[in-house]
Structure 1
Amino acid sequence: MGHHSRHAGADTQRMRTIALAVIVPTGLITLLALIWLWPPPSNVADQSGRAAQHQGVVTGVTKQPCPETPAGQEPLPGGATLDVNGCGTAQVKVSDGPDQGLDVVVTLPNGPGAPTVEDGDEVILVLTENPDGGQYDIVDHQRTKGLWLLGIAFTLAVVAFGRWRGFSALIGLVATFALLLLFVVPAILAGESPLLVAIVGASAIMLTVLYLTHGLTFSTSVAVLGTLASLLLTGLLAAASVAGMHLTGFADESSTFLATSHSVNLQGLLLAGIIIGSLGVLDDVTVTQAATVTELARANPEYGMRELYRAGTRVGRAHIASVINTIILAYAGSSLPLLILIAANNSSIGNVITTQVIAQEIVRSVVATLGLIAAVPITTALAAATARRTITS
């Protein structure tokens, strides 16, 4: 009983020392930076010029014969067609807005990415004003119900398996999305430095989510310190790589639109994406390493710092081996359409790798992996040193 009390007391004292020395100042600086960088509502991008969107339900589809293919026009490979719905019109009942309940006739959508339309579908309509009045067009399907069902299933599964820890993880997820949507994105659109916003946002997410999910424990504090150190190293590596390879952040039409329409610093945005993307895997590794070393120290109080470090590192190597493949596959999956397009143009491997778009993805993957690898020895060493002192106190 006495040994347990001394252990708990030392654990609490060690955690308080770590918090007072590093984590509390970091939290205060992050909070002040959030207040300083928080964008006022007036600086949020004005979207008043965009066409109004409304919801509707397809009540009927009328097909008509399509005109023949113009002479000399070659068919698409594999018999593919851009006329996904064929020719004709659809009758749609508007579900919201000033025209709620109105039945309108729209042309069936066709072309790349056009939604397939059938009777009873819930769709998104765009109202375009013209000299003859308003014209409605179908641009997408409504997905609200499906997303709600998927979200409910996700929530029930997480809570059923994780119980209270799963519930706290969901709260942390809500906090992450809130910081991204309410701070990071509006602040970048308001003209703040994307890199600075990403650093502050990542710090706020890390401090909030880790303690909210894993509690105010000794191992969580060690994980926070390991994540901070690894995130700093990742940011430095990312900045050096982006500058050294002269990457500009211009990758596709959306990035060009951001630069021209909203004056966003795309190079800073590239760095911001690397930092925020790396945080998701860093906290996973650091929490695992800190908890592993802490449990090893409690299971075998005879272990010294060297034994704890070696044992924890062995676990970390196995974890890193699987996570590295996860990172590469995640980036490859998100870039798969681009990879297929480049392969279809019969470009050489050397030319493909050195293109700006592919080089940026390689930098994302490699920098995130290097930061991840560094997180293992950093967090393991911190946990081994503090856990050993805790056990012997």
Structure 2
Amino acid sequence: MAHHHALPDAAAHGALPRDALPRTPVLTRVVVVVLVLLTAGATAVGLVALWPGGPAPTSPDLDYAVPGATFPRATVVRLTEPCPATAPDSVGTEPEGSADCGQLEARLADGSTQVVRVTTEVSRSGLRPGDTVVLLRLPDDAVDGAADQGALLQSAYSYAGVERRAPLLALAAVFVVLVVAVARWRGLAALVSLGVGGAVLLLFVAPALLDGAPPVAVGLTGSGATMLLVLYLTHGLSLRTSTALLGTAVGLGLTAVAGVLGSNAARLTGVGDENSGLLQALATNVRLHDLVACGVLIAAFGVLNDVTISQTSAVWELRAADPGRSRRALFASAMRIGRDHLASTVYTIVFAYAGAALPVLLLISLSSQGAATLFLSEDITAEVVRTLASAVGLVLAIPATTAVAVAVAPPPRAPAAPAGAAGPGVMGSTAAPAGAPSPDDDEHEDGR
């Protein structure tokens, strides 16, 4: 979610080139570096303390198929219409004329053809002849064992799913090409950062949670590690990036507090659907109650990163456009931009969660109960807590980041000298020096 707002054009308004701006005081730079190092140190300590002791545990109860089963790919030859619904008074009898309904005929790589039963949803999914599907083939001993127990198997083959790798890879390739084409090297860095974030989730967050580590601590540590790697990799090593990092850290802390307080106040148990119940049964070390707050942190990180980067850039650009503006006026101007950003981002969060919880919204529409009764359902309440906690962290992160950026940005330039006493290029001239280059953020970082 990237939001861009119109900022003053420094060159167009007669502002000084960035190299002519006052430098941020050394003491301020030292404080920023110390705070960044403390953040990195706390993250490193968290990684060491919470790193799982071994590989993530697995459960044989979650195996997709019996040992020895294979998943051959096949090409759809024919797909019949779904079977009509059976009338209540004819349970156990097959509807007349339905012998050939709800069947998928597919050709295997060896040329043989298999006919398998499929559900109504698969029959209506839009599969056409020529599409590739995956079948599940049970080993011969499993088929013989089922026959010995009196189970009726129409075939050793059954429908497993659609082969989706080709369209997903094509969509991913289009995404990568567009990002690199539009954002150039910075887009490539963003893609690498996306991979880094995924690696942190898969290699640290998930195994640590399964190992029984505190979910909130895992969420903060994982987000902190991702933040340190992603921000500097994508936006470069500069004082501006460090300022955005500190603002993101503040926002994550506030979001964690809001998530914990919200889940505690709502008395959430963490068991809101069948997946949570299954996880509780199979992974007894996982602290489901705190998973809500951990999920809030993971989900809110990307939005917070977007907001803090935008606010920090706004402060630096406003300073470049008007080097003589006081810090108070600079904060007020940046907050006007922040309010616009906040207004658009808050409903972005709400609709993002609403999209993820669309089945829940449909159930609410079908229900004739009042809102108070609906909130007895934990899955609905958990979505509300996630949304509001993320929004609280976001709202508070904007003024916090803006205040930090105003304090760290170059100080106001001294008032202009009296007319006639100033040399060329000194404040007070009505235009920038002839031929002064316009700053290009896509190619250069001022590092201030």
Q: Given the two structures, how large is their TM-score scaled by the length of structure 2?
A: 0.76
Mapped to 2, the partners of 1:128 and 1:270 lie a distance apart of: 39
Note the C-alpha offset of 1:236.
Answer: 0.9
More helix by share: 1
CA displacement 1:30-88 (0-9 Å, x = unmatched): 134224433355333245843156240225337599688345379xxxxxxxx9x9333
Cα–Cα, structure 1 residues 218 and 89, in superposed 2: closer, same or farther, change >3 Å?
closer
Cα–Cα, structure 1 residues 12 and 126, in superposed 2: closer, same or farther, change >3 Å?
farther
Q: Which amino acid aligns with 1:122?
A: T
Give the aligned partner of residue 61 of structure 1. 78
Which residues of structure 1 form unaligned runs of 5+? Answer: 75-82, 95-100
Q: Greater relative contact order (Cα 8 A, min sep 6): structure 1 or 2? A: 2
Mapped to 2, the partners of 1:219 and 1:241 lie a distance apart of: 33
More strand by share: 1
Cα–Cα, structure 1 residues 295 and 4, in superposed 2: closer, same or farther, change >3 Å?
closer
Give the aligned partner of residue 320 of structure 1. 342
CA displacement 1:260-280 (0-9 Å, x = unmatched): 111222112111101111111
Note the C-alpha offset of 1:330.
Answer: 0.9
Mapped to 1, the partners of 2:278 and 2:70 lie a distance apart of: 21
Mapped to 2, the partners of 1:55 and 1:192 lie a distance apart of: 39
1:14–1:390 Cα contact (<8 Å) kept: no
Q: Which amino acid aligns with 2:382?
A: Q
2:280–2:288 Cα contact (<8 Å) kept: yes
Map 1:200-279; keep pairs closer than 5 Å.
200-263=221-284, 264-279=286-301
Give the aligned partner of residue 424 of structure 2. none
Give the aligned partner of residue 123 of structure 1. 133
Note the C-alpha offset of 1:192.
Answer: 2.3
Cα RMSD of the aligned pairs, angstroms, is: 3.0
SS of 1:139's equivalent? strand
Q: Given the two structures, how large is their TM-score scaled by the length of structure 1?
A: 0.86
Which residues of structure 2 form unaligned runs of 5+? Answer: 1-15, 92-97, 146-154, 415-447
Q: Which amino acid aligns with 2:297?
A: I
CA displacement 1:185-224 (0-9 Å, x = unmatched): 2222233222221111010111111111111122211111
Q: 1:160 aligns with which of 181, 189, 193?
A: 181
Mapped to 1, the partners of 2:386 and 2:81 lie a distance apart of: 49
Mapped to 2, the partners of 1:203 and 1:260 lie a distance apart of: 30
Mapped to 2, the partners of 1:220 and 1:73 lie a distance apart of: 69
Cα–Cα, structure 1 residues 344 and 369, in superposed 2: closer, same or farther, change >3 Å?
same
Aligned length: 376
Map 1:4-15; keep pairs closer than 5 Å.
7=21, 10-11=23-24, 13=26
- Structure showing greater Rg: 2
Mapped to 2, the partners of 1:206 and 1:387 lie a distance apart of: 21
Mapped to 2, the partners of 1:65 and 1:13 lie a distance apart of: 73
Mapped to 2, the partners of 1:364 and 1:173 lie a distance apart of: 23
Identity between Structure 1 and Structure 2 (%): 33
CA displacement 1:347-383 (0-9 Å, x = unmatched): 2222224432221111111111111110111011111
CA displacement 1:126-173 (0-9 Å, x = unmatched): 344524279332121111111111111111111111111111111111
Mapped to 2, the partners of 1:169 and 1:15 lie a distance apart of: 29
